Amino acid sequence: MRKRFAKRQSKQQQQQQQQQTHRKRTDREILLENPKVAYITEGDQWIQARSEHQQQYIETIRNNDMTVGIGPAGTGKTYIPVAMALQALKDGEVSKIIITRPIVEAGEKLGFLPGALEEKINPYLRPIYDAIESMDGYGAVERLVGSRSVEIAPIAYMRGRTFENSFIIVDEAQNTTVDQLEMLVTRMGMGSKLVITGDITQVDLPKRRNSGLLTFKEIVGGISKIKFHAFTDEDVMRHPIVKEIVKAYELWKNRDEQK
């Protein structure tokens, strides 16, 4: 009788062990085992670093409350924090994602574009919509915005607010003024994380206005809890020709400045 009981108990233990072995791992377990992973999508796709600099960027954001990512287009400086924000929301680490960017024309005037103000603003926010939908599919933005889990808005809508338990992303920060960036970073409340991104070679502000991003390091460089992460043209992850174009423009601009 005892042998039978022992055998039955042994079989139950084996079944439990098999269930534990084959059970689906939690996102937290996967992230701990794979520090390159920024986000596990609703479809179980892993959004992860594709270069050493991107992995360092993920670790910097993960370990600090405020991070500044600077570099050329195509390096993932915005895509990665958007992915990490979605993961933080999914894990319940934050209750809301706030994504904001300045509305600054790059050679075109808003007044001459057709449509109401909201229709004129939407093209500026489209890159953020595209990033989210490339991860979680078409309709993800509408669902997240509809549930008020995500807010994507121009900087003008941020004044006078405080964001607690939020993941805040300030995109295209090279086109913020000094006052705008000061206003934005002081919106950060308890339990929040803030990532600022921008490309200091793509400033579209009028010549007499200083870029908030360019002066930010000079102003807050002595605060140890604010971390800066720099990308180079070597980190560009778009079509191979884009990397060469970025290099060519950089050389041309440097030559022009030396004249």
Q: What is the pLDDT of residue 185?
A: 94
Q: Are 161 and 184 in contact (CB under 8 A)?
A: no
Kindly indicate the confidence band of residue 10, based on its pLDDT and cuts at 50, 70 and 90: low
CA-nearest of 215, 209, 203, 236 to 77 is 236
Alpha helices, H only, the chain: 2-22, 27-33, 52-63, 79-90, 117-136, 140-146, 178-185, 212-220, 240-258
Q: Which residue has the tokens 């229709």?
A: 119
pLDDT attached to residue 107: 44
Type of residue at 227: K
pLDDT of residue 40: 92
Is the residue at 60 inside a domain?
Answer: yes
CA atoms within 13 A on the CB side of 96: 17
Q: Is residue 172 part of a domain?
A: yes
Bridge pairing between strands 96-101 and 226-230? unpaired
Residue 197 or residue 43, greater confidence: 197
Domain of residue 158 covers 32-258
Rounded CA-CA distance 34/48 in Å is 9
Per the domain annotation, does 16 fall within a domain? no
- pLDDT on residue 124: 76
Share of the chain above pLDDT 70, in %: 82
* Total number of domains in the chain: 1
CATH number of the domain bearing residue 86? 3.40.50.300
Write down the pLDDT at residue 97: 96
Those residues whose C-beta lies under 8 Å from the C-beta of residue 82, and which sit 6 or more positions away, are 99, 128, 131, 132, 135, 169
| pLDDT of 22 above 50 | no
